[in-house]
A and B are shown apart, each in its own frame.
Chain A
Amino acid sequence: MSLSQKQLQLIKRILWTVSLLIVAVPFVFPFLWMVSSGFKNAAEIFGQPSLFPAVWRWQNFLDVFDHQPFAQQYFNSLYISAAVTVITLVISSLAGYALARLRFAGSALLMLFLISALMVPEEVTIIPNFFLIRWMGLMDTHMPLILLPVFGAHGVMATFLMRQYFVALPKELEEAGKMDGLSRVGIWWKIAIPMSRPALAAVAIITFLHSWNLFLEPLVFLSSLEKFTLPLALSNFTDAYGLPLWHLQLAATTLAVIPILGVYLIAQRQIIESFAMSGVKG
């Protein structure tokens, strides 16, 4: 008995899907485990592994807020990420527009100059930046967490992404704008910006996530609990004696990760495309 071409195709398809599912396990399991452990107590986390807790301890999620000013920290992360995103959008689209559309001496050199920033890890400049921020009197404030991503490698990356997009836009509309007597800023704001929504969305998404997930900078610049951002707060779930509070840490991690994951699941196409755009920059 031989299988028809169609049956063979189906079997292949099934095998293919099953193997992809197996590969997917280490990608999905950490999330499932994290959420389920967030409901367990410390003993159960290290006991026989089970996908569902014996007792659902919703209390963990409340205790998180008792243990640290977690709501405040959550808010800090949100508003810092929002601020970084807005500022990055404005200045990277300004610079990106100039680099794409305006002719000026030194633009090629400037590009080269900025590109160098993409290669330098932030660990290289973190020490002098520490002293710079101290000199500015901004230690233990949120300013360095806004300034460094905006003006560092990430801001440069956003500038290039915007430039790439502006270069590809048709010039005719801008010419028309010029005829109508729009100033340069007017052309940028009324014509170029509205036409580059996809690029702006990409920059916004990547920037927000970049800022949201920042760790080294908060670690170095923040020292008061109520100023912490989420990643720093998550790494800090210890009691008064420095003992880890596993179940609270996992509950807090769940609270920090799940909303972002939810947004991602809803807008996954847009988000994935944003990252694809950013990667083409090189």
Chain B
Amino acid sequence: MFRTKITAAALLGASFLVSPAVAQELRFTVWTGNDAHLSMLNSIGDSFKASHPDVTVTFETIPAGDYIQKLTFQLAGGTPPDLGWMFENSMPTFVKAGVLDELTPTLAATDGYDLEDFSKPAMALWSKDDAVYGVPFSTSPFMMFFNKDMFDAAGLEDPLTLADKGEWDMAKFREVSAALAAANEGKWGFEFKDGQGYDSRIMHAIMPPIRVYGGNAFAGGECGFEKPEAVAAVTQLHEMIFKDGSIVPPGEQGDFFSGSSAMTINQISRASKMPDAGFNWGIAPLPTGPAGASPVIGQAGLVVFSKSKNPELAKEFIAHMTNAENVAVMAQFFPPARKSVLDSEAFTNANALIPAAQMANVKAAISDGQVLPSHERTPQIEAAMKPRFDALWKADANVEEALKAVCAAIQSEL
């Protein structure tokens, strides 16, 4: 290498020393197009130059809705990115397909990286048999967003107050939802996550209640939807939608962020939408249920694709991006899985939009929460579930029968 450079310099002059042969590029796919996110990511990309002066990291946005599909097309289509973001529910599929590179050796070899700083539960989804295939960059709990103005106008105590008093449970949730819907003609008490609870976010809609009722989705090849706990949880949602009229029903738009619903469950990244909302708001823990509290966490991770032309470099960049310092930087948007960052005071003050007291709840949820279920055959399971849930979300549906049908449909995939 050195010799080549000398020869080249001798032949072509000193300017050739900044040889393009050494300059390297990493293509990094993300699903955000948000300017604030991208400028933060670019600054992390630039800081990599301190140790790798010739490396440029390019962040490439693929819209979230098509992310996995477009990514697959790139991998299968011969234009693979080097590394990228990965959804939790797609992770097992990608690991199984063998298209991700193992990160463990590089992370272990990086000075001061401290992989142990990531808690075991936080890493569970991203590792297989002790081999790490991804590092979570966002470990974001589901929180209850509420429209403070609507609660005040209805003369109700808001979820944060109720949670502090220890009264914020599923029964209370139902009660206030109904009261809010009754007090606001044409509006609703509660909206499922992003208004997508009947479509792309079925699991996000049903898992929080199912967990606090003590149920589960699928664990160890067994379908949990037809168990009494899950049936009770889904029945409550069903009654809230069709009896109480307090949850935005299928086919209607009750956008929380434009003030059409008083509450929604979402992740704190959505707080970035709040300054435009024009009402007072807050975030509270999820309501507890018969099985107590059971926070739900959504994760997203960083992975290196096996087809990358520069897999080693890509892994080094992941080690750089997820070191303690950069995790702290990313914490302004993406709640961290590193315990050291989570425990720092910087974290509770990291989000300019959310008061420290409410961030403490976020932190508690991250520490105690469980990630959403995922499976190697996620696309097939979700596609098989969807038509059966369509049948469930109808006024005259028998919830228990419908959930049995869900299990019957997905059992062969599990």
Cβ contact of A134, chosen from B76, B195, B258, cutoff 8 A:
B76
Question: How many Å lie between the Cα of A274 and that of B282 in the bound state?
Answer: 59
B200/A241 in contact, CB under 8 A? no
In the complex, whether A19 has a CB less than 8 A from a CB of chain B is: no
- Is A236 within 8 A of B63, CB to CB? yes
**Interface: A41 (CB within 8 A):** yes
Q: Is B280's CB within 8 Å of the partner chain A?
A: no
Contact of A225 among B62, B78, B252, B260 (CB under 8 A): B62
Decide: A42 and B64 in contact? CB cutoff 8 A. no
Decide: A42 and B66 in contact? CB cutoff 8 A: no
Within 32-91 of B, Cβ neighbours of A (below 8 Å) are at: 32-34, 37, 60-66, 70-71, 73-74, 76-79
The 0/1 profile, CB within 8 Å of B marked 1, for residues 100-135 of chain A is 000000000000000000000000000000100110
Contact with B along A232-275 (1 / 0, CB 8 A): 00001011111100100000000000000000000000000000
Cβ contact of B194, chosen from A41, A134, A221, A242, cutoff 8 A: A242
> Among A134, A137, A221, A242, which residue has the most Cβ atoms of chain B within 10 A?
A242
- Say if the beta carbon of B101 comes within 8 Å of chain A: no
**Contact assessment for B74 and A139 in the assembled complex, using a CB-CB cutoff below 8 Å:** yes
Pairwise interchain contact A225-B255, C-beta atoms closer than 8 A: no
Q: Which residues of B contact A224 (CB under 8 A)?
A: 60, 62
A17 at interface, CB cutoff 8 A:
no
Q: Which residue of A lies closest to B81 (CB)?
A: A223
C-alpha spacing A239/B64, complex, angstroms: 8
Contact B66 A134 (CB under 8 A): no
Which residues of the partner chain B approach A133 to less than 8 Å between Cβ atoms? 77
Could you tell me if B258 and A223 are in contact, using CB atoms closer than 8 angstroms?
A: no
Find out whether the CB atom of A43 lies under 8 angstroms from the CB atom of B259: yes
The docked-state distance in angstroms from the alpha carbon of A246 to that of B253 is: 11
Contact A242 B65 (CB under 8 A): yes
Check A238 against B74 for contact (C-beta < 8 Å).
Answer: no
- In chain B, what residue has the closest Cβ to A46? B253
Specify the chain B residue showing the minimal Cβ separation from A42.
B258
Q: Are the C-beta atoms of A225 and B63 separated by less than 8 Å?
A: yes
CB-based contact B74/A240 at 8 Å: no
Cβ of A220 under 8 Å from chain B: yes
Q: Is A67 an interface residue (CB 8 A)?
A: yes
Interface residue A140 (Cβ < 8 Å from any Cβ of B): yes
Given A41-B258, A139-B78, A140-B79, is A241 in contact with B70 using a C-beta cutoff of 8 Å? no
Whether A223 pairs with B33 at a CB distance below 8 angstroms is no
In angstroms, how far is the closest chain B Cβ from the Cβ of A233? Answer: 9
A236 neighbours in B (Cβ, 8 Å): 63, 65-66
Chain B residues numbered 176-233 whose CB sits less than 8 Å from any CB in chain A: 194-196, 200
Q: Judge whether A139 and B259 touch: CB under 8 Å.
A: no
Q: CA of A112 to CA of B65 in the docked complex: distance in angstroms?
A: 42
Q: Contact: A139 with B60, CB < 8 Å?
A: no
Measured CB to CB, the nearest residue on chain B to A140 is B79
A241 and B194 in contact (CB under 8 A), knowing A43-B255, A225-B62?
yes
Most interface-central of A45, A139, A243 (chain B CB within 10 A)? A243
Kindly provide the distance from the CB of A213 to the nearest chain B CB, expressed in whole angstroms. 19
Contact between B60 and A240 (Cβ–Cβ < 8 Å)?
A: no
CB-nearest residue of chain A relative to B267? A241
Q: Does B309 contact A (CB under 8 A)?
A: no
**B270: Cβ under 8 A from any A Cβ:** yes
Complex Cα–Cα for A130 and B72 (A): 12
A41 contacts which chain B residues (CB < 8 A)? 258
Report Cα–Cα, A241/B270, bound state, in Å: 8
Q: Name the residue of chain B whose CB is nearest to the CB of A228.
A: B63
Decide if B60 touches A238 in the complex (CB within 8 Å). Answer: no
Q: Considering the chains assembled together, what is the distance between the CA atoms of A241 and B67 in angstroms? A: 11
Report if B31 contacts A (CB, 8 A). Answer: yes
Instruction: Give A39-81 interface residues, CB cut-off 8 Å to B.
Output: 41-43, 45-46, 67-68
Q: Using A41-B258, A46-B253 as known contacts, say yes or no to A240 and B77 having CB atoms under 8 A apart.
A: no
Q: Which residue of A45, A220, A223, A225 has the most chain B CB atoms within 10 A of its CB atom?
A: A223
Enumerate chain B residues within 8 angstroms of A239, measured Cβ to Cβ.
33-34
- Chain B proximity of A126: nearest CB distance (Å): 12
A43-B259, A240-B34 known; A134 vs B63 contact (CB < 8 Å):
no
For A225, give the chain B residue with the smallest CB separation: B61
Smallest beta-carbon distance B116→chain A, Å: 31
Assess whether B258 is in contact with A43, with CB atoms less than 8 Å apart: yes
- Name the residue of chain A whose CB is nearest to the CB of B195: A243
Partner of A242, one of B37, B71, B74, B200: B200
> Which residues of chain A have C-beta atoms less than 8 A from B65's C-beta?
236, 238, 242
Give residues 300-314 of B contacting A (CB, 8 Å).
Answer: none
What are the residues of chain A within 8 A of B61 when measuring CB–CB?
Answer: 225
| Cα A246 to Cα B260 with chains together (Å) | 15
Asked whether B380 is an interface residue with its Cβ less than 8 Å from the other chain, the reply is no
**B110 beta carbon closer than 8 Å to chain A:** no
Q: Which of B32, B253, B260 contacts A240 (CB 8 A)?
A: B32
Task: Quote the shortest CB–CB distance from A271 to chain B (angstroms).
Answer: 33
Q: How would residues 239 to 264 of chain B score, 1 for a CB under 8 Å from any chain A CB and 0 otherwise? A: 00000000000001101001110000
Residue B269 is within 8 A (CB to CB) of chain A in the complex: yes
Distance from B386 Cβ to chain A, minimum over Cβ atoms (Å):
16
Q: How far is the CB of A193 from chain B (nearest CB, A)?
A: 39
Nearest Cβ on chain A to B141's Cβ, whole angstroms: 15
Chain B residue numbers with a CB within 8 Å of A221 are 73
**Using Cβ atoms and an 8 Å threshold, which residues of chain A touch B195?**
243
Q: How far is the CB of A39 from chain B (nearest CB, A)?
A: 16
| Contact flag A139-B258 (CB < 8 Å), given A46-B253, A240-B33 | no
User: A241–B64 contact, CB under 8 A?
Assistant: yes
Chain B nearest Cβ from A23, distance in angstroms = 27
Query: B78 — nearest CB in chain A belongs to which residue?
Result: A134
Chain A nearest CB from B191 CB (Å) reads: 12
Is the pair B64, A220 in contact by a Cβ cutoff of 8 Å? no
Name 5 extra pairs, CB < 8 A, besides A139-B74, A242-B194, A246-B253.
Answer: A43-B255, A223-B71, A224-B60, A240-B33, A242-B200
